[in-house]
Amino acid sequence: MKNFLLLVSAAMSLLLATHCQAGGDINAGKIAVEKYGCVACHGADFNTPIDPSYPKLAGQHADYLAHTLVAYQRDFKAPNRRVNAIMNGQAKPLSSKDIQNISAYIHNLPGSLVVRK
């Protein structure tokens, strides 16, 4: 019985992990970052930004990336808005589907900053 419960719990974790990764379409995200010009500042590999003050994004968690992009989009009166003159403008035209796809794509790129899971 105990082994059965362990197996069920392992299968559920696997399902959850797969589900989280399936949140966005990686190929659509690649097309979107080119369309919106994100690569111009963050680098084609999202690991070589054009300025040292610009963040490296490759490999960051998809939910973290999506969270930041939504925060940049928020109205100036929202309490949990992120204020940055550049990124407020960059995030504005993105649909929520774009954000999911872009976050999945960037998360999937090999990054030098993250501790691998």
Which residues inside 20-79 make contact with ligand HEC, applying CB under 6 A? Answer: 33, 36-38, 40-42, 54-55, 57, 65, 68-69
Q: Which residues have C-beta within 8 Å of that of residue 12, sequence separation ≥ 6?
A: none
111 scored as a contact of ligand HEC (CB under 6 A) = no
Q: What tokens appear for 5 in the block?
A: 């419960």
Q: Give backbone dihedrals phi and psi of 14, rounded to 5 degrees, phi first.
A: -65, -45
Could you tell me the smallest distance in angstroms from the CB atom of residue 3 to ligand HEC?
42
Cα–Cα dist 25/96, whole Å: 12
8 scored as a contact of ligand HEC (CB under 6 A) = no
Residues found near ligand HEC in the complex (CB under 6 A): 33, 36-38, 40-42, 54-55, 57, 65, 68-69, 82, 84, 86-87, 90, 94, 102
